Structures are given as structure tokens and as C-alpha cells.
Structure 1
Amino acid sequence: MKLLLAPMEGLLDHTLRDMLTRLGGVDLCVSEFIRVTNTVLPRRAFIRVAPELLNNSRTPAGVPVRVQLLGSDPICLADNAAALAELNPYGIDLNFGCPAKTVNQHRGGAVLLDEPELVGQIVAAVRRAVPAHIPVSAKMRLGYNDDSRAEDCAQAIEAAGASDLVVHARTKAHGYRPPAYWDRIADLRQHVRLPMVANGEIWTVADALRCREVTGCERLMIGRGMVADPGLALAIARHDAAVGKVLGGTAGAVAAAGSLAPGQSVAWSQIVGLMRLFWVGISQRVAPRHRAGRLKQWLNYMRRVYPEAQQAFDQLRLVHDAKHIETWLSQQSNASAP
């Protein structure tokens, strides 16, 4: 199984990508979207969102990063893709899935799924503008208000020459409410041969295994599940490796596979270490008054898995002072030390 780290606008930026890929298990990342309107963006605009471009398009841990573009004008998107290609990204991804109201009102993201012809034109224009060695992929939801045109969109993306397609198994109208309709991804796979990646409601190893079984996809994209449980990709990779050893007859592999229960995938002490590095990263570019909010965003997700994160969130909920957070992180680090 191959695992992709999803983009999450406003949260899963390059600093958090760095943290989550340090633990292992992630094969590929996709950046948050870069909004394209009516001009060719300067080099710094691409690097601001994906500074990994300065590191051979890889995170510090060596995981490759595709850079995502969002817009509705095929020509402008193609021109920006050509400019981005000069920075030699690992790939370029096109966003047809963002459900944000402001984005959709400006004719971006999931709203385009009502126009499969335009979706195909965008992918085709970008594919023509980018050197053949750079993959052009796409991410879509099942639709905007309903999923009646999902097959049309997937077929348009395939016909336009995309290398692969990520499908978030909900419509815009569904938002992020459970469940994810994995069976619809299986339906789409009957209509296109394009390599497909399943996305949506993967929180545990068991979820990943069920998603693979239902969709038939050997590649999964995980977003909120990885933010909540930073070791999730590693746990999934270890499970697959253990199962492979079982099938190969290696002694002891059954016990290894059986020990990977849903829940915490790495120790809280490792999480504390990552939070300290995360704080250093955001301190380099985020104003002091906003830094505490960024850390609390992450803690808010992790309290789904870690009781310690719940305790930390309760302690810091009303704290906005950066120095107070730094003191707290030092205390946590000392408490977690062996």
C-alpha cells in the first residue's frame, strides 16, 4: 500500500508536512493549493507554499512533494504550471475538490465538478504546458451538490492526460461529515483505467484496510487522520510489512501484525519532540500572537487519539502568549525525557 499525505488549507502546511514525514510511512505529499486567478505568479509565490522546491521538491525527511494549483481558467493555469515547472516540482496537482464557500464562489475547487468539460480542458491545458517528465495529477470530490457527474469528471480527467486521480469520497454538500462513500470510488474505477487514490475518513489502520478492500485502491491519501495520529502512516506501513512476512512464512510476523491496534501509533514523548520542532518552525514565519493558535490547532486533532493532548489542550485553551507556550513545551519535554 502506498500512502499520500493530503493538503489541508490553513493547517497542514510545509512545517507540519515536515513533522509528519519524519516518522516514516508517507510516500508522497501534496501541498496546499496555490490560487491562480488572472496572472502568472512570481517564483516566490510557489516557494512560499512549497519551500520544498528548494530541496529537490522533497521534505527534509526526503519525501517528495507535488505542488497543487487551484483555478478555473485553463490558459492561466497552464501558464502558471509552466512557470512552476521551471522549479522542477516532483509533480503538479490540480484541485477540483476544495469545498470552501469563498473558493467555490470564486469558481474554484469543487464547484467545477458541475462542468466536466471545463475540468478536462484545465487538465489538458496544464498537461500540454508541462514537460512530459513532470506528472500532472488531479484531486476531486464525488461532485458538488450530488455525485451524478462523478463518472463524467473522472473520464474527462483521464482523457485529458492526467497521470493519476485522487478521489475524496464525498460531495461538497457532504462536507466532512461521515461516512465517506468508498463504494463510489470502486464505481469510478469501473469507468476509468487511470490510477486512482482513495481519500476520506481514514483514521486508523483498520480504516485503511477497509478502504483498500472496498475501493480496490492500493494507494490511499490521508489528511485529518495523520494530523490526529502522526504515526498512522508508519503503523499502516508496518502492518503491511508484517502481513507480507506472514505470507512469506517469516516467524514472529503474526505477533507483529497483531500488535498494531487502532489508536496511538507512536509514544507521546515522540509527539512532544515533534511539537517542539513544529514550534521552532512556525516561530520563524508566524507572528507571535498567532503561534499559540497554530499549536492548539494540532492539539485539537490529536486529542482524538492522545489523552495527553486533551490535557494539553485544556491547559492551553486560553493561552495566547508565545513565551508561555515555550515554557510549557520545555516542561513537557523534561517530563517526557527518560
Structure 2
Amino acid sequence: MQIALAPMEGLVDEILRDVLTRVGGVDWCVTEFIRVSDRLLSEAHFLKLAPELNDGAQTQTGTPMRVQLLGSDPSCLADNAALACTLGAPVIDLNFGCPAKTVNKSRGGAVLLREPDLMHDIVAAVRKAVPGHIPVTGKMRLGYASTDGALDCARALAEGGAEQIVVHARTKLDGYKPPAHWEWIARVQDVVSVPVFANGEIWTLADWQRCREISGATDVMLGRGLVSRPDLALQIAAEKQGCELAPMSWSAFLPLLQDFWLQARRKLAPRYAPGRLKQWLAMLTRTYPEAVTLFAQIRRETDCERIDALLGVPACTRASETSQMATAIDA
């Protein structure tokens, strides 16, 4: 069984990938999508969204990271995939599932589910362009407005050369509204010979158990559920091995939240770092009552030093981080 951390644009950046994979249970993760339109992107562009390429394409704990591309031009996607491989990408993943209107308007993501022939051509072009030992994979939804073409889309990916398919078990128009239609994952697996990963609406260990029973899927990709419950992958991995694992307490999790905040402060300008913390903290309120209290305290806070204090970041750590940030600015 494999457990993957989903690519979520604007949320799961290299900082969150680092922190969540440190908790454990995640076998591999994926970058936010790298948008490809009509040109070959620069190396700097790839490294900005996938800085782990500088460290063997893995997070600090050694969790492998895949590079995801999004676009509709087979030739251009192929060229950029080849470049990503020269930079160290161990797997190229292709996005056919993003439901964002701005993405779909530019003919990217889930809108391509209307064109299974094009999906096939994209995968085939990328497969031909990258070295044979580097897998090409795809992530899709069940369709754009309906599930009518779901099986055709899955066949298109597999026949084009995708070695794995992640199925988010909703259509584009469903968005993220429950329920996820896990029974469709079993139907997809029936028509393709490559592994199919279940994705969508898995928030708890009980959700995963139900998803597995309904979908028959051994492999799973976790998105918002793992962001909201950082030890969910660890819980699932333990259950799979027949072990019972106590949920991670807030006191055990807090140092990771503190480190996330400090990394955000190093990466972002002071006006943006608080919003990054609030984004994750708001999702953590689903699991931790302590997060509800903390979110209420910092919801309107914009001063980074006051947030340091509310998070309980040790004074010596705050001083060290301030010195590092000042040095970086001077450089």
C-alpha cells in the first residue's frame, strides 16, 4: 500500500510538504502544479516551486517528491517534462483534475476531461520525451459536468503511458462538496491495468476504511484530510499493519506548527507570513480544539513578533530567526 500527499496549489508548498512528511506515514508527495503554456520554462521557475530538486527531489526526511505539470499543449508539456527530469524529477505527474475556474479557462486541469483524445496525446508525448526509467503518472476527476466519460478518460491516460492514475472521486462541477463517489474508483480500476489511487473526502481513519471497502483501492492519496489531521497517514499506515496508534496530541504537534511558522517567516515578507499561518491553522481547527482557541487569538493579528509570542516560540529561537532574516536581507 502506498500513501501519497496530494498536490494542492496555494497550500501544500515545500514548507508544508516538509512538515507533514516529518510526521510520517507518507510514501511520496507532489509539487503544486507547474503551469505550462506556450514556452519552455526556466530552471529557476522549476526550482521556485520545487526547491527539493536541489536536495535529491525529496523532503528533509527523505520522502520522494514528484513534479506535477499542468497544461494542454502536448509538445510544450513534453519539452518541460524533459527539462524537469534533467533537474532531477524522479516522476512526472500530469494534472487533469484542477477545478479552478481560472485554470480551466486557460484550458488546463479538469476542463481537459472533455477531451480524452487530447489527454492521451499529452501523456504519450510526455512519455516519449522523458527517460524510460522515469514514470509518468496522471491525476484526474470523474469528469467535468458528469461521470459519463470517466472510463474513457482513465483509458486514455493508461493507453498513453501513465503508470499510475489518481482518481479524485468527484466531477469538476462537484468541486469539493461531499460525498466523494468512491464506487467509481472501482469502476476505473476495472478498465485499466495500472494502479489506481483513491482520493477525495478522506478525513479520518474511519473514512479511509470505508473508502477502501467501497472502492477496493489499496493505494490512497490524502489532501485536505492530511492537512487538517497531520498524523492521518501515520494512522492509516499503522492500521494497515494491524497496529493501534494513539492520535498525535496538540503538545506533540505544536513544535511542528512553530517550525512551519518560522519557515514561513523566512520565506515570505512580514505582511504575507501571517496569512500563511492562518490558512493552515484554520484547517487544523477541524481536529484540534486548541487550534480553535489559537486561531481566534491570531485571526486579526498582523504583527509577526506578537504571533511568535502567541505560538510560544522560545525567545532564543525568535532572536536567532530575526538575526538570520536580517542577514538574508542584507545579502
TM-score range, shorter chain: over 0.9
Any residues of structure 2 matched to 1:1-338 within 5 Å, and which? 1-241=1-241, 243=242, 256-257=243-244, 265-330=247-312
Output the amino acid matched with 1:312: L
Cα distance in structure 1, aligned partners of 2:307 and 2:34: 30
Contact 2:59 / 2:65 at 8 angstroms: preserved in 1? Answer: yes
C-alpha deviation, 1:86, in angstroms? 0.2
Cα distance in structure 2, aligned partners of 1:298 and 1:160: 37
Contact 2:96 / 2:110 at 8 angstroms: preserved in 1? Answer: yes
Output the amino acid matched with 1:297: Q
Contact 1:138 / 1:157 at 8 angstroms: preserved in 2? Answer: yes
TM-score normalised by length of structure 2: 0.93
Output the amino acid matched with 1:124: A
Cα distance in structure 2, aligned partners of 1:303 and 1:238: 24
TM-score normalised by length of structure 1: 0.91
Provide the residue aligned with 2:319 in structure 1: none
Moved more, 208-217 or 299-308: 208-217
DSSP-derived class of the 2:248 partner = coil
Give CA-to-partner distance per residue, 1:201-243, whole Å, 9 cap, x none: 00111111111121111110001011101011111111122x2
Moved more, 232-241 or 306-315: 232-241
Contact 2:37 / 2:71 at 8 angstroms: preserved in 1? Answer: yes
Cα distance in structure 1, aligned partners of 2:314 and 2:200: 32
Task: State the Cα RMSD in Å.
Answer: 1.4
C-alpha deviation, 1:330, in angstroms? 2.2
Cα distance in structure 2, aligned partners of 1:267 and 1:332: 20
For structure 1, the 5+ residue unaligned runs are: 244-255
Moved more, 322-331 or 213-222: 322-331
Give CA-to-partner distance per residue, 1:277-310, whole Å, 9 cap, x none: 1112111221111111111111111100100000
Contact 1:273 / 1:333 at 8 angstroms: preserved in 2? Answer: no
Give CA-to-partner distance per residue, 1:32-52, whole Å, 9 cap, x none: 100001110011111111111
DSSP-derived class of the 2:133 partner = coil
Cα distance in structure 1, aligned partners of 2:302 and 2:134: 43
For structure 2, the 5+ residue unaligned runs are: 317-331
Provide the residue aligned with 1:251 in structure 2: none
C-alpha deviation, 1:186, in angstroms? 0.7
DSSP-derived class of the 2:214 partner = helix
Give CA-to-partner distance per residue, 1:60-95, whole Å, 9 cap, x none: 011000010000000000010011110121201000
Q: Among the aligned pairs, what percent are the same residue?
A: 53
Cα distance in structure 2, aligned partners of 1:198 and 1:295: 29
Provide the residue aligned with 2:327 in structure 1: none
Cα distance in structure 2, aligned partners of 1:124 and 1:333: 54
Contact 2:258 / 2:313 at 8 angstroms: preserved in 1? Answer: no
C-alpha deviation, 1:8, in angstroms? 1.1
Cα distance in structure 1, aligned partners of 2:54 and 2:213: 38
C-alpha deviation, 1:332, in angstroms? 8.8
Cα distance in structure 1, aligned partners of 2:170 and 2:232: 22
Give the count of matched residue pairs. Answer: 316
